[in-house]
Amino acid sequence: MSARWVKLPNGNIIDAGRVAYVSKPDAYPGIDGDGNDRTEYAVTFGTEFTRDTWMTVTGTKDEISALVRQLLGAQA
């Protein structure tokens, strides 16, 4: 199986073919750099089912939606 590279909102790159777990995206209140209220989004995914291989990625609604679609293999 060939690698299917996916760029995360923070700039890191992972092989989506190794992802074994993707959580439901969560939304929570946040504050931007100027002190304005906004909604932050996050999704947790892991390359194995043990928790020490899971990571949580935060970003805008569009960034997280695109990431989840890429991880699950959907066409953006």
Check pLDDT > 90 for residue 19. no
- What is the average per-residue pLDDT within 18-33? 89
- Is residue 23 in some structural domain? yes
In-domain check, residue 76: no
Average pLDDT along the chain: 85
Residue 26 confidence (pLDDT)? 94
> What pLDDT score was predicted for residue 1?
55
Q: Which residues pair with 33 in a beta bridge?
A: none
pLDDT greater than 90 at residue 74: no
Q: What's phi and psi for 32, nearest 5 deg?
A: -80, 180
Domain range for 63: 5-71
Residue type at 71 in one-letter notation: L
Q: Where are the alpha helices (DSSP H) in 1-76?
A: 61-71
In a domain, 45, yes or no: yes
Whether the CB-CB separation of 7 and 35 falls below 8 Å is answered with no
pLDDT digits (tens, 9 = 90+) for 38-71: 999 999 998 887 777 888 999 889 999 999 888 8
Q: How many domains is the chain built from? A: 1
